[in-house]
Amino acid sequence: MGPAVADVTTPLAAIVAAAQVRDGSAQLAAVGSTASLTTIEFEPGAVEDLKRAIMRLAPADMEYKHELMWHDGNGHSHVQAALLGPSLIVPIRAGRMRLGTWQQVVVINHDNRPRRRTIEVTVIGCR
């Protein structure tokens, strides 16, 4: 199973377009200690490979000190999110996010239950 991975490229592209910045960057930050942001080719095989790699780095079935305090079963979620990181900077060129042909921005929910994630976006640059 593993973490939930969602493609957020299209809504982020709309935010960038609305900002009317020609050249600059979009600074993205996932809100929450069990979420992360990265880029990947958002296709089922690559997404499954990413999930498996994340689970190997911090498997759910290990003992985590966080769980000894909170008893919420999501110690692995915090570790996974910390390893991948909550933020990402995407260049903006000619008014569009500069991503590769097969590169999408994804938000990852590492928690052991579904969550609605918020991404804070700051667009800076020249018009």
pLDDT in tens, 62-103: 999 999 999 999 999 999 999 999 999 999 999 999 999 999
Q: How far apart are the C-alpha atoms of 41 and 98, rounded to whole Å?
A: 14
Phi, psi of 89 (to 5 degrees): -115, 130
| Domains within the chain, CATH numbers bracketed | 4-126 (2.60.120.460)
What amino acid is encoded at 3 in this protein?
A: P
> Mutual orientation of helices 75-84 and 44-57 as an angle, nearest 10°?
110
Its pTM stands at: 0.95
Strand positions, DSSP E, the chain: 4-7, 23-31, 35-40, 87-93, 96-97, 104-109, 118-126
